[in-house]
Amino acid sequence: MPGPENLKCYPPATECGWEVVDAHEQITTPYCRCPYCKKRTVTKKGGVKDVQYYHEFTAFILAGPKISFILDIEPILPGEGEVKLIQTAFQSMQKLSQGI
């Protein structure tokens, strides 16, 4: 089985459905920022560079044929990448699977 860094959707641990890990970017703005914002520079038309501040989250979702719901959501903080959060979600999935 591939390591957690290569997976987004894990095989069903229960008859309830699939366990999915997905990252989402939220709240992008050039104006506001906080200590938890990630930062990137984008180049617009004409070569104008602009700084954007944004938040990212990783969601751990149980997706079934009739119902889906979020089991866990974690922020991706500055300096953290998706791989670290996917590994955390993988550990959460293993704990959940043992408890069911």
> Tell me: the pLDDT tens digits for 46-91?
999 999 999 988 887 878 777 788 877 888 888 887 677 677 777 7
Residues 98, 6, 24, 19, CA torsion sign: negative
Q: What predicted TM-score, i.e. pTM, was given to this entire model?
A: 0.61
Bigger pLDDT: 100 or 48?
Answer: 48
What does pLDDT average to over the chain? 76
pLDDT at 12: 54
How far apart are alpha carbons 41 and 10 in whole angstroms? 34
How far apart are alpha carbons 100 and 94 in whole angstroms? 10
Bigger pLDDT: 45 or 4?
Answer: 45
How far apart are alpha carbons 42 and 22 in whole angstroms? 23
